[in-house]
Amino acid sequence: MTARDRLIVGLDIPTVQEAERIVSALGEDVLFYKIGYQLVFAGGLEFARELAQDGKKVFLDMKLLDIDNTIASGVENIVKMGMSMLTLHAYPKAMRAAVAAANGSDLCLLGVTVLTSMDQPDLAEAGYELDPRHLVLKRAAQARTAGMGGIVCSAEESAAVRAVVGPDMAIVTPGIRPAGSDKGDQKRVMTPGDAIRAGSSHLVVGRPIVRAEDPRAAARAILDEMNAVR
């Protein structure tokens, strides 16, 4: 894969009009976009369909979790939308239902391990006894067993996760911040080059690009950093 195949720009912005402006500004430099809750609830699903029809790749970040039949029905319809990636929380039953529903399609199902905004105190407050690293590795192994296409984790865990899932599964890492940029609400972050070296296959970059004075220049700088990794 080229850097262009591996960089996913997170369209975590409030309106489709803003998203259209960003996509237009980035032009052919960016192939892959992530659409999550904020944009989905502002008309983003139709926008996602349009992006896919225009030849872009779309990572639909819905973090699904429900009973098996509901998961399967949702995944079947998302396949029809032409999406490239879809997230689920990495619970074994949900993952198995999704894998069965997506069988035969090109949809890459991603298991969400531990959100990059969460650290040990956050997990303890939520009732988890494992620390973030051990919970990530447990869920990565469960995603592999379920037949998922990849997982989502912090770049800090990429190397350890790669050892668990092997060379073929995607490792998608949010919380990517170019050197010197603001961490925002992320607690476990890494630079683009370091994330690739650690074993990440795809990088999700949102605010450092979409909030930049020149989004295209910001994207190109990140692509250059990714291309420089050997």
Calculated CA dihedral for residues 181, 184, 188, 190, nearest 10 degrees: -20
- On whether the CB atoms of residues 165 and 140 are closer than 8 A, the answer is yes
- Report the distance separating Cα 140 and Cα 150, nearest Å: 8
Which residue is catalytic, options 29, 66, 119, 122?
A: 66
Whether 61 sits among the annotated catalytic residues: the reply is: yes
Q: Is 197 annotated as a binding residue?
A: no
Is 77 labelled a binding residue? no
Which of 63, 122, 138, 194 is catalytic? The answer is 63
Answer yes or no: is 116 a known binding residue: yes
Among 5, 56, 57, 61, the active-site one is: 61
Residue 34 assigned as binding residue: yes
Which CA distances in Å does 109 have to 13, 84, 99, 204, 211? 23, 9, 7, 16, 28
63 annotated to a ligand binding site: yes
Quick check: is 29 catalytic?
Answer: no
Report whether 35 belongs to an annotated binding site. Answer: no
Please tell me whether 69 is known to bind a ligand.
yes
CA distance 227 to 210: 21
Q: Which residues pair with 204 in a beta bridge?
A: 8
Binding residue numbers: 12, 34, 61-70, 116, 177, 186, 206-207
Catalytic positions: 61, 63, 66
Annotated binding site for substrate: 12, 34, 61-70, 116, 177, 186, 206-207
